[in-house]
Structure 1
């Protein structure tokens, strides 16, 4: 049940990251929180299988903050890809 704390924390920080990263008009509202939540689930589960206990600070730092870092990097990559795609489409149309 502790995994829910990590997922909720990562999702909440992902919501905050969504509003701090520019280019919100180029992506959906739930992209960054969804990536953060999925990354938190993967990191938490992987570290638990590796034998890291629930009382370890490294489990929580990696699953919550690490997931937000992954989400921010993925969101920045998506925004850059979208801007490049839009610029190519504009150039093709002669706009």
Structure 2
């Protein structure tokens, strides 16, 4: 049941990260929160299977903060890739 707290926290922080990262017009509104939530689920479940207890701060930091950090980095990489591909397409068209 505690996994829901981690998922809600990761989703909320993912929404905040979406608005803090530039290039919102180049990606969907749900990209960062969705990646953060999915990663939080995987990390939380994996750490639980490895025997990390729900009272451990490392479980919560890794699943909530770590997943949002990775989602933010993935979002920045996707935006940079999109800008490069848009620039290449404009150059190819002579715009």
| TM category, shorter | over 0.9
Structure 2, gaps ≥5 residues long = none
Aligned to 1:64: 64
Three-state SS of the structure 1 residue aligned to 2:42 is helix
* Poorly superposed stretches of 4+, deviation over 2 Å: none
Gaps of 5+ in 1: none
Deviation at 1:26, TM superposition (A): 0.2
- Aligned residue for 2:53, secondary structure, equals coil
- The two structures have a TM-score, normalised by structure 2, of 0.99
Name the SS for the 1:51 alignment partner: coil
Tell me what 1:15 maps to: 15
Tell me the C-alpha RMSD between the 2 structures.
Answer: 0.4
CA-CA distance at 1:24 after TM superposition: 0.3
With the length of structure 1 as denominator, give the TM-score of the two structures: 0.99
Residue 74 of structure 2 is matched in structure 1 by 74
Q: Counterparts of 1:76 and 1:4 in 2: how far apart (Å)?
A: 26
Aligned length: 95
The structural deviation recorded for 1:9 is: 0.1
Instruction: Show the counterpart of 2:4.
Output: 4
The residue number in structure 2 matching 1:88 is 88
